[in-house]
């Protein structure tokens, strides 16, 4: 095993020092990351940003309270200061702790995770990335004269994370993220519309040979152009077929957050539902950190726990939650590898990975047949959930369903409801499957995958129509 031995020694010294200061647990995460961001706006390159971020975060547990200190440096002396700072912070909090935090045991791991993509984005010339954006931009403007504006953001992150803790785990893990977001504005007379598309991977730059700028650009452009023809929907409750992208957002926002054990314990509606039925028997939801190349995939989480595939709902029953070591201990179960930190500036918290509905056996046409008047909800703009299970998903692409057939496009739609009520109303699950990409904000940002098959719901509240 090859590794960064001098840094490993340094991290070990910091852990020793934390333990001497009275910490029952010490963890150090260090990073050396490189980032490239390119933004194009209306056929011009606004800026190319490249940079280096080094830093370390130290987390300690003293008498059951957490202390945390992060610093944008890898200087040994400053890191030593950080560990005593973290211990001081923890001691200040520990005076008020009623229920001390304890951590579930995990296996000690020593590992070096290397990523060797065909085309490492760090080695791909900047000119090539710029040309890819400009090619996509041209395709978008060539789609239609009503396309008025377009912003494309490209991001790659590469580098290495280093993890060491007082349980003698030491992990060096390469990081690689590719992310491309496209927003297109179209206008016809007074009508303004906006369409977007997001892709993201944990693979090399070669992925853009198959997921080409042509495909991405055309998708985003068509979404905005379709909306110019769309009418606003009538608000009210209707049956709906929910497309893979939106069912993913539902899995993540409406259900997933409630099943993050920290939020469950904070009082989400799932607090007393473990082992109980919360939805119709055909509902199955999984949070999976092992899908190769997907944006929410990694080998080890930021507490040194291996990522895994975690079933959350099986045949309508809650079978699991997403845990870190602290919540796993509280529930008397095993950590699921969901602890992640955006970067060295943040502490690890419970995050979703790739969260999705598993497939069923129905075809799209079969699901359409039975709907007299309803909606096909296809593409999302954003979503948000509340601990009481109220969710909202904003939609950028939707169609009416009239007498079992797809009808006119509708705009400015969103749908809302109560998560558990909606899970009970799922009455058909498609046999297709698609996984999409999002950036989730929970005080810090995380790349997450989300998806599923086309899914039919007997009734949702459609809000829209100005």
Partner 1 sequence: MAELKPEDLINFGKKAINVATKKGANEAEAFLSEILSTTVNIERGQIAKNMRKKDQGLGIRVVCNKSVGFSYTNVLTDKSIEQTAIEAFHTAKASKPDKNWGGFSSPKRFSSTQNAYDKKLVALSSDELVEIASIMLNEAASFDNRVFVAEGSVETHVSSRTVVNSYGVEAFDEGTRIDCGLATIAREGQEVTPICQEFNAERVYKIDPKWIGKEAAKKAISSLKARKIESGDLTVVFDQVALYLLLYFTFINAIKADQVQRKQSALEGKIGEKIASELVTIYDDGLMANGLQTWKFDCEGVPCQKTPIIEKGVLRHYLYDCYTANKDGVQSTGNALRAGFGAQYMLTPIIQATNFTLTSGSKSPEDLIKDVDNGILVQFLQGAHSSNPSSGEFSVVATPAWKIEKGEIAYAVKGAMLAGRIFDVLNNVSALGNNMRKIEQLVAPWITSEKVRVIGK
Question: What tokens appear for 358 in the block?
Answer: 């598993």
CB of 361 to partner 1, least distance (A): 32
Instruction: Tell me how far, at minimum, the Cβ of 431 lies from partner 1, in Å.
Output: 29
C-alpha to C-alpha distances, 89 to 59, 75, 93, 135, nearest whole angstrom: 10, 21, 7, 51
Would you tell me how many other CB atoms lie within 10 Å of the CB of residue 408?
12
Q: Quick one: which of 299, 309, 345, 359 contacts partner 1 (CB under 8 A)? A: 345
> What residues are paired with 158 via a beta bridge?
34, 176
Provide the greatest CA pair distance for the chain.
73
Pick 296 or 389: Cβ nearer partner 1 = 389
Asked whether position 189 contacts partner 1 by CB under 8 A, the answer is no
Helix (H, G, I), strand (E, B) or coil at 245: helix
CB nearer to partner 1: give 98 or 107: 98
Number of residues that bind partner 1 (CB under 8 A): 93
Q: Which is nearer to partner 1, 366 or 388 (CB)?
A: 388
CB of 108 or CB of 237, closer to partner 1: 237
Q: Which of 390, 427, 432, 433 binds partner 1 (CB under 8 A)?
A: 390
Contacting residue, 16, 22, 92, 366, with partner 1 by CB under 8 A: 92
102 binds partner 1 (CB under 8 A): no
Least distance from partner 1 to the Cβ atom of residue 39, Å: 8
Candidate segments 43-51, 290-298, 362-370, 400-408, binder of partner 1 by CB under 8 A: 43-51
373 binds partner 1 (CB under 8 A): no
The nearer residue to partner 1, 201 or 238, going by C-beta atoms, is 238
CB-nearer residue toward partner 1: 247 or 282: 247
* Cβ proximity to partner 1, 382 vs 404, nearer residue: 382
199 token code pair: 């892709």
* Closest approach of partner 1 to the CB of residue 115, in Å: 22
Cα→Cα distances 106→328, 337, 338, 429, Å: 11, 10, 14, 37
Task: Kindly report each contact of residues 145-149 with a partner whose C-beta sits within 8 Å and lies 24 or more positions away, as own/partner.
Answer: 146/186, 146/187, 146/188, 146/225, 146/228, 147/184, 147/185, 147/186, 147/221, 147/224, 147/225, 148/185, 148/186, 148/187, 149/41, 149/42, 149/184, 149/185
Is 384 a binder of partner 1 (CB under 8 A)? Answer: yes
Site pattern 106..135 for partner 1 (x: CB under 8 A): -------------------xxx--x---x-
| CA torsion, ordered 340, 342, 345, 347, to nearest 10 deg | -20
Write down the least CB distance from residue 358 to partner 1, Å: 26
Yes or no: say if 389 and 279 are a contact pair by the CB < 8 Å rule: no
CB neighbour list of residue 232: distance below 8 Å, 6 or more residues apart: 410, 411, 412, 413, 464, 465, 466
Kindly state the smallest distance separating residue 341's Cβ from partner 1, in Å: 12
Region near partner 1 per CB under 8 A, out of 86-94, 116-124, 281-289, 354-362: 86-94
Q: Within positions 430 to 459, which residues make up the interface with partner 1, using CB under 8 A?
A: 439, 445
Helix 126-143 to helix 213-228 angle, to the nearest 10 degrees? 30
Closest approach, Cβ 179 to partner 1, in A, equals: 10
Does 97 bind partner 1 (CB under 8 A)? Our answer is yes
Q: How many helices (H) and strands (E) does the chain have?
A: 10, 22
| 286 token code pair | 């999984």
Distance CA 387, CA 418 (A): 10
Query: Is there binding between residue 466 and partner 1 (CB under 8 A)?
Result: yes
Q: Which of residues 211-270 bind partner 1 (CB under 8 A)?
A: 235-237, 262, 265-269
Q: Min. distance of Cβ 34 from partner 1 in angstroms? A: 11
Query: With respect to partner 1, which residue has the nearer C-beta, 336 or 412?
Result: 412
Cβ 383 vs Cβ 411: under 8 Å: no
Q: Could you tell me which stretch among 7-15, 281-289, 306-314, 381-389 binds partner 1 (CB under 8 A)?
A: 381-389
- Smallest CA-to-CA distance from 251 within 437, 450, 26, 65 is with 450
Supply the DSSP string of 402-444, one letter for each residue.
ETTEEEEEE-SEEEEEEHHHHHHTEEEEBS--EEEEEEEESSS
Element at 67 (helix H, strand E):
strand 65-71
Site for partner 1 in 267-326 (CB under 8 A): 267-269
The least CB distance from residue 462 to partner 1, in Å, is 8
- Residue numbers 148-187 binding partner 1 by CB under 8 A: 148-149, 185, 187
The pair of structure tokens assigned to 360 is: 């069923």
* Cβ-based nearer residue to partner 1, 33 or 367: 33
416 forms part of the interface with partner 1 (CB under 8 A):
yes
> Contact between 85 and partner 1 (CB under 8 A)?
yes
């Amino acid at each position: 095993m090859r590794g960064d031995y001098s840094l490993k020694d340094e991290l070990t010294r910091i852990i020793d020092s934390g333990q001497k200061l009275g910490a029952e647990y010490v963890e150090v995460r260090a990073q050396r990351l490189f980032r490239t961001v390119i933004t194009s706006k209306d056929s011009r390159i606004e800026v190319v940003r490249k940079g280096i971020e080094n830093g370390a975060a130290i987390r300690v547990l003293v008498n059951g309270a957490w202390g945390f200190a992060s610093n944008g440096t890898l200087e040994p002396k400053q890191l030593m200061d950080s560990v005593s700072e973290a211990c001081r912070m923890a001691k200040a909090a520990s005076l008020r702790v009623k229920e001390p935090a304890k951590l579930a045991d995990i296996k000690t791991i020593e590992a070096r995770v290397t990523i060797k993509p065909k085309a490492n984005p760090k080695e791909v010339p900047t000119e090539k990335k710029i040309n890819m954006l400009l090619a996509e931009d041209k395709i978008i403007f060539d789609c239609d004269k009503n396309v008025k504006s377009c912003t494309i953001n490209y991001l790659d992150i590469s580098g290495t994370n280093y993890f060491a803790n007082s349980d003698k785990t030491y992990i060096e893990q390469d990081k690689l993220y590719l992310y491309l977001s496209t927003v297109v504005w179209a206008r016809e007379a007074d009508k303004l519309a906006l369409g977007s598309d997001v892709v993201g991977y944990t693979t090399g730059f070669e992925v853009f040979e198959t997921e080409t700028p042509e495909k991405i650009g055309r998708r985003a452009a068509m979404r905005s152009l379709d909306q110019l023809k769309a009418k606003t929907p009538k608000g009210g409750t209707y049956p709906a077929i929910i497309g893979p992208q939106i069912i993913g957002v539902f899995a993540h926002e409406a259900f997933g957050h409630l099943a993050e054990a920290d939020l469950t314990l904070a009082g989400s509606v799932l607090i007393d539902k473990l082992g109980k039925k919360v939805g119709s028997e055909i509902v199955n939801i999984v949070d999976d950190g092992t899908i190769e190349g997907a944006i929410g995939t990694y080998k080890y989480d930021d507490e040194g726990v291996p990522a895994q595939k975690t079933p959350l709902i099986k045949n309508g029953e809650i079978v699991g939650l997403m845990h870190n070591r602290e919540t796993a201990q509280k529930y008397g179960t095993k950590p699921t590898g969901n602890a992640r930190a955006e970067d060295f500036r943040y502490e690890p918290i419970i995050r979703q990975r790739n969260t999705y509905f598993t497939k069923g056996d129905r075809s799209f046409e079969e699901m359409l047949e039975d709907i007299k008047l309803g909606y096909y909800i296809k593409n999302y703009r954003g979503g948000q959930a509340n601990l009481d299970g109220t969710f909202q998903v904003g939609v950028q692409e939707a169609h009416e369903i009239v007498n079992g057939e797809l009808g006119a496009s509708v705009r400015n739609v969103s749908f809302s409801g109560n998560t558990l009520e909606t899970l009970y109303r799922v009455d058909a699950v498609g046999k297709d499957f698609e996984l999409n990409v999002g950036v989730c904000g929970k005080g810090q940002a995380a790349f997450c995958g989300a998806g599923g098959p086309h899914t039919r719901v007997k009734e949702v509240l459609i809000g829209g129509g100005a």
